[in-house]
Amino acid sequence: MNKTIQTVESAAAGSAFLIEDVYPLIDGGRFAVKRIAGDRIEVWADIYRDGDATISAALIWRGEQDREWRRESMTHHRDDRWSGAFTPTEAGQYLYAIEAWTDEFATWRHGVERKQLSGGDVTLDAIEGAGLLTKAHGAPQDAAAIIVRQCEDYLGSGDVTPLLVSELGEAMAESQARPDLTRSPNFPLVIDRDRARFGAWYQMMPRSQSAVAGQHGTLRDCIARVPDIAATGFDVLYFTPIHPIGRTHRKGRNNSPVASEGEPGSPYAIGSAEGGHDALHPELGTIEDFRALVATCLEYGLEIALDFAVQCSPDHPWLAQHPEWFKWRPDRTVRTADGPYSDIVIPDFASVDRVGLWNAFRDAMLFWIDQGVTIFAIDNHDTAPLPFWEWLIRDIRSRHPEVILFSKTFARPKLMKGLARLGFAQSFSYFPWRTAKWELEQYFDELTRYPERDFSRPNLFVNTPDLLPYHLQSGEAWMFKSRIALAAMLSGNFGLYSGFELLEHDAIPGHEEYRDSDKYQIRQRDWDKPGNIKPWITALNRIRNDNAALQQTNNLRFLGIEDGETIAFAKVAAEPANIVVAAIALSRHAREFWLPLGDLTIDAGGERHRVTTLENLMTGEQSRIEWGGIKLRIDPDRDPALFFRCLA
Amino acid sequence: MNKTIQTVESAAAGSAFLIEDVYPLIDGGRFAVKRIAGDRIEVWADIYRDGDATISAALIWRGEQDREWRRESMTHHRDDRWSGAFTPTEAGQYLYAIEAWTDEFATWRHGVERKQLSGGDVTLDAIEGAGLLTKAHGAPQDAAAIIVRQCEDYLGSGDVTPLLVSELGEAMAESQARPDLTRSPNFPLVIDRDRARFGAWYQMMPRSQSAVAGQHGTLRDCIARVPDIAATGFDVLYFTPIHPIGRTHRKGRNNSPVASEGEPGSPYAIGSAEGGHDALHPELGTIEDFRALVATCLEYGLEIALDFAVQCSPDHPWLAQHPEWFKWRPDRTVRTADGPYSDIVIPDFASVDRVGLWNAFRDAMLFWIDQGVTIFAIDNHDTAPLPFWEWLIRDIRSRHPEVILFSKTFARPKLMKGLARLGFAQSFSYFPWRTAKWELEQYFDELTRYPERDFSRPNLFVNTPDLLPYHLQSGEAWMFKSRIALAAMLSGNFGLYSGFELLEHDAIPGHEEYRDSDKYQIRQRDWDKPGNIKPWITALNRIRNDNAALQQTNNLRFLGIEDGETIAFAKVAAEPANIVVAAIALSRHAREFWLPLGDLTIDAGGERHRVTTLENLMTGEQSRIEWGGIKLRIDPDRDPALFFRCLA
């Protein structure tokens, strides 16, 4: 007999039920579904076995580190499709699974009822039913009392009726043995706190925050900036790296391969004699200053996000302390990164001492968490292997479930999605290169479709220190306002790099890069420069904060309007009931168009109400909907977008 | 530290690559993909890792019992999507998997080429490249020779050029170590012989085959029938159970609960004092007769299919020999099946001696395989647990990969699909209840869609011993001809129960059941009764045998015609190139309609040719296609269907 033939015993121990087509599920459970604390997680599955016995199913769930499963009963809808739900209220890593089993007593009861209807003799059935009761040993006290009482009634009367009361059915459903119980695999679920879904990010280079021309900015200068950034409505203050900067191969202005004396270099060349990933660049200040910054941010409702780049300058202390963590060339120099990145060294993640290296990066992150950092933006992370990220995220989140890890990379589509699946709470997107209406509609349909919606949360940056998109290079205010409106309204998470609000648009010709980028030099800006769009951004953030529908991404739904250069969409929140409609111009000319709103309804007090009125969220003005829609006018040079709250 | 934190070592041992969205795949590999021997199995997957190293991938496959994997290289298309293919030529159970790894030498070479292009110094790179060669120890002889020669050339010249020759690249691709090799899980694949995809089934009750009125038919009578059945073009001769029939609760005519003296009972009440599942009903003849039948069938190109029902009459020898295999009632009677099935007993598949019971059924099947049976139709199999079927199929197919197991049950949709996924090679379908054009189109689109097409093969029966559909009850010849044409043309597998060809249509009023069904009595028929549609069926089978496009199901494509009561479709086969177009009337009136054929093309000799001509497969008449289609006329009272071969 060949060895691939399964024994009866191992086959019979297999699953009596098939539990299939489980929703939600990412790659059959290989990766975690992501949701937010307080979300009701509705789980659906096909659950069935042979024959027509009465079956029951439960949805079980627990925190990964909990010992006990919690359980919710599942309901059969039709066509063997079941659902159940649970609501985790804390961030963390969870598991859920589905159990199915035969309710033998209910099956017996249905058989008896059927036989009674057709006038059959149920004497033997009654004895069998009573026999089932005796198997429900170990029933909880209340159930046991019901079981004993109904059994006694039956024995006294000889009539099957006491065995058919529904109270007994329920007691037995809960108490009887479940010999054919089948449990699905455990499926992973990650619960993040609300900030993973909703936040406005302001990114800046701390050394560019001095008010004094030519002077290196400090963390104290950053503290001085906090009130204004908070007043503009931002939630996250996001810093480029704050660590000591290497000197070897230091970059000069505009990415020049050689720095002149006194040039500060790129902060992404992490590490020097002054320290590495757990040190602060001395010119920025001290750890006490950093703590003061955290405290000020807290006071103003801002969180701090740090860039976390797993790369080193050639002067990073680790090169001397742990040469085995790096790749060396035949001339005993260290291998630097390819192309324009000669000021950085990629560690060897497959090093013989990878335990040391991986833990060192993890410990650096833990160090900053101890200083009050709750968000990390992972830069250039396609330089480390995928298992490293999966491990790091799980390790950090097991200790600090509140921490948010943002995958800040522009990579190939599959790799972007792969990184999101591995566990990053948020991701960069191709938004900066999606400008036409059809591109935006198609791309956001893709991002908000299942299963992508359940593992990927886009964070829409209108620009970055490395990216000044072509469409911003003419510096037209309407375009800046249109882009930031798109970012703020399409997604729960959006961000900008400082200078955007001042309409900075000086590019290196033919490239989507800033000229004189403060990535390679110190800059100062007049934050109240005339023509800045801070009032527009402040209004967008106010509208976002006032409307639950805008505090998420997956509730997006495009509205069909005829104008090919105006994009319109609705976002609908259930609790509290809130619908926002936005129309945003993608070109500069003034336009009028018809916005159809036909089937939008608001659920309130258990009733469904048709939307009758739009309230302009900028002006407060109200307009009645007539003929299922409304005629609108946008003049982009005034404001390139309109936002409305729907009223019943 | 909590225990859910993974160690670096175990994380680093994880997969360097993500291998995702594998096609074909059923439920992430839980169930086998099904194909036919000789099919080219094309496998697709997203394969990627971090960074931009040059990677390679291979598709590996083997018979489940083979020791060695075979391997085919995979090709990158775009967007990290790869494909490869292999062609198993024998029926059996296979595994396939995907391997991906970094080609370090190619990655090095691309780096050098890039650097050369930009005028960089590659002296150190050359040393590093030569160093990679020394790591390719254990290379196959040919490759080793190339590697040594190029290395010597490099050492002699000091020039990098010898390291960049493509021959060396290939030798290294094959030979170098693959430290980051990632292998996907093994995915199961079942290969069936061609009969699983293509066959015309003729089902009959052997006891009804006597030519002498009132006499119990024998296997010798069946032998006498073989030439006629073969001449009608059938491939499979399918028998209802041939085992001894129980006497207890024996059914009388028309399913009467009590049989009169001398009534033969239902053959589905298997087992009596004369034996059980491995015995032959004495009145049918002997095992020698059965072998003679098999031999005659073989001679005429017919295979024998047997009903295999895992149920017993209360008189089955197993009840006395193995009382523990059954469920007993408080009065020590055995529990019979519910409802109208009081003449049968369902064994207890969870019996303490389930090893004995499961093996006994398996051994009965093996017994009949030894007698020459190659196909089993599994009757009423929703009475046994799902793990039993999965085990039985795997067990039987591991020993006899040529055996075909047909899931002959009408159950709920999910259960039907679940049974198909568990491994049945063919399945009943809802075809008998799909009569309107939209129903047929929708249902067959569903059946032939991925992934269903890869696990489920419908076998379309126009009637069964238990089923005389309402639409046949008026006995109109055009309807019988339309239904059998639909079955024969829509699917590679179809069948009928004897009597259909004689337009039998006498129903129990209000039911889809035959009156005086030979399930409960012996019947004789005049097989050449006037008005029979054997010539029509013979023509359908001839057309099927002559046209490769009709020997499969998943190549079905509906054609849009305006007539709502005529269904039209094309079936396209690639090798040999063959296209058949069918138009079938679903109502009785004569009609004319336009059949559009716009984009049908025939691939021949590496060229694509537009279809220009239709050849009527009944008459041989040829018609030119004009204006992208053709005008047709169907008069159902003459023939309710038209079939054409497309010519270029």
Count CB atoms within 10 A of the CB of residue B51: 16
Report chain A residues whose CB lies below 8 A from the CB of B18: 386, 414, 418, 421
Integer Cα distance of B332 and B326 in angstroms:
11
Searching chain A, which residue's CA lies closest to the CA of residue B361?
A8
Torsion of CA B428, B429, B433, B438, to 10 degrees: -160
B48–A414 CB contact, under 8 Å? yes
Q: What is the pLDDT of residue A135?
A: 80
**Reduced DSSP (H G I as helix, E B as strand, rest coil) percent helix, strand, coil of chain A, to 5:** 30, 25, 40
Give the residue from B50, B94, B352, B421 with the most A CB atoms within 10 Å of its CB, the best one to mutate. B50
Report chain A residues whose CB lies below 8 A from the CB of B9: 354-355
Provide CB contacts within 8 A for B375, sequence distance 6+: B195, B236, B238, B303, B304, B305, B306, B403, B404, B405, B406
Q: What is the pLDDT of residue B2?
A: 44
Give the residue from A54, A381, A386 with the most B CB atoms within 10 Å of its CB, the best one to mutate. A386
Searching chain B, which residue's CA lies closest to the CA of residue A421?
B18
Q: How confident is the model at residue B381 (pLDDT cuts 50, 70, 90)?
A: low
Rg (CA), chain A: 31
Q: Can you tell me the mean pLDDT for B465-485?
A: 97
Give the residue from B2, B5, B329 with the most A CB atoms within 10 Å of its CB, the best one to mutate. B5
User: CA of B287 to nearest chain A CA: how many angstroms apart?
Assistant: 27
pLDDT tens digit sequence for B172-187: 999 998 999 999 999 9
Torsion of CA A431, A433, A439, A443, to 10 degrees: -30
pLDDT tens digit sequence for A288-345: 999 999 999 999 999 999 999 999 999 999 999 999 999 999 999 998 887 778 899 9
Report chain B residues whose CB lies below 8 A from the CB of A414: 18, 20, 46, 48, 79-81
Q: Can you tell me the mean pLDDT for B615-628?
A: 94
Report chain A residues whose CB lies below 8 A from the CB of B128: 329-330
pLDDT tens digit sequence for B281-303: 999 999 999 999 999 999 999 99
User: CA of B293 to nearest chain A CA: how many angstroms apart?
Assistant: 30
Q: What is the pLDDT of residue A139?
A: 83
Q: What is the pLDDT of residue B609?
A: 87
Q: What is the pLDDT of residue B7?
A: 85
Report chain A residues whose CB lies below 8 A from the CB of B382: 50-51
The pairing of strands A566-573 and A18-23 is: unpaired
Largest CA distance in chain A: 104
Collapsing DSSP states into helix, strand and coil, what is residue A17?
coil
B11–A388 CB contact, under 8 Å? yes
Report chain B residues whose CB lies below 8 A from the CB of A350: 12, 179-180
Searching chain B, which residue's CA lies closest to the CA of residue A12?
B387
Give the residue from A1, A3, A4, A8 with the most B CB atoms within 10 Å of its CB, the best one to mutate. A8
Report chain A residues whose CB lies below 8 A from the CB of B385: 12, 16, 49-50, 180
Q: What is the pLDDT of residue A341?
A: 83
Token readout for A466 is: 């490395």
pLDDT tens digit sequence for A316-326: 999 999 999 99
How far is the CA of A42 from the CAs of A69, A88, A166, A568, B541, in angstroms? 17, 11, 28, 29, 51
Searching chain A, which residue's CA lies closest to the CA of residue B3?
A65
pLDDT tens digit sequence for B55-73: 999 999 999 999 999 999 9
B391–A6 CB contact, under 8 Å? yes
Integer Cα distance of A278 and A360 in angstroms:
10
Q: What is the pLDDT of residue A381?
A: 62
SS (H, E, C) A139-185: CCHHHHHHHHHHHHHHHHHCCCHHHHCHHHHHHHHHHCCCCCCEECC
Q: Can you tell me the mean pLDDT for B469-487?
A: 98
More confident residue, B196 or B2: B196
B465 touches B207 (CB < 8 A): no
Give the residue from B54, B392, B414 with the most A CB atoms within 10 Å of its CB, the best one to mutate. B414
Searching chain A, which residue's CA lies closest to the CA of residue B398?
A5
pLDDT tens digit sequence for A599-608: 788 887 788 8
Report chain B residues whose CB lies below 8 A from the CB of A358: 8, 11-12
Q: What is the pLDDT of residue A1?
A: 38
Collapsing DSSP states into helix, strand and coil, what is residue B5?
coil
A51–B382 CB contact, under 8 Å? yes
**Secondary structure element (H or E) that encloses residue B220, with its range:** helix B219-231
Token readout for B481 is: 């001809």
How far is the CA of A216 from the CAs of A222, A263, A516, in angstroms? 11, 11, 16
A6–B394 CB contact, under 8 Å? yes
Is pTM beyond 0.90? Reply is yes
A387 → closest Cβ in B12, B338, B388: B12
Report chain B residues whose CB lies below 8 A from the CB of A382: 50-51
B414–A355 CB contact, under 8 Å? no
Within a 13 Å sphere around the CA of A432, how many CA atoms are in the beta-carbon half?
A: 22
Backbone angles phi, psi at B312, to 5 degrees: -130, 150
A355–B4 CB contact, under 8 Å? no
- B3 pLDDT higher than 70: no
Q: What is the pLDDT of residue A648?
A: 87
Q: Which amino acid is at B367?
A: F
Q: What is the pLDDT of residue A97?
A: 97
B11–A329 CB contact, under 8 Å? no
Report chain A residues whose CB lies below 8 A from the CB of B358: 8, 11-12
Searching chain A, which residue's CA lies closest to the CA of residue B396?
A5
B539 touches B501 (CB < 8 A): no
Q: What is the pLDDT of residue B279?
A: 98
pLDDT tens digit sequence for A162-195: 999 999 999 999 999 899 999 999 999 999 999 9
- B140 pLDDT higher than 50: yes
B5–A394 CB contact, under 8 Å? yes
Considering only CA atoms, which of A492, A297, A28, A427 is closest in space to residue B185? A28
User: CA of A343 to nearest chain B CA: how many angstroms apart?
Assistant: 17
Report chain A residues whose CB lies below 8 A from the CB of B50: 381-386, 415
Which residues in chain A come in under a pLDDT of 70?
1-5, 380-382
B11–A387 CB contact, under 8 Å? yes
Q: What is the pLDDT of residue B4?
A: 58
Q: What is the pLDDT of residue B1?
A: 38
Measured at the CA of B439, the angle between CA B438 and CA B443, to 5 degrees, comes to 115
B12–A131 CB contact, under 8 Å? no
Q: How confident is the model at residue B408 (pLDDT cuts 50, 70, 90)?
A: very high
Integer Cα distance of A292 and A223 in angstroms:
8
ipTM of the complex: 0.92
Tell me the DSSP string of B329-398: -TTSPBPPPSTT-TT-B---TT-TTHHHHHHHHHHHHHHHHHTT--EEEEESGGGS-HHHHHHHHHHHHH
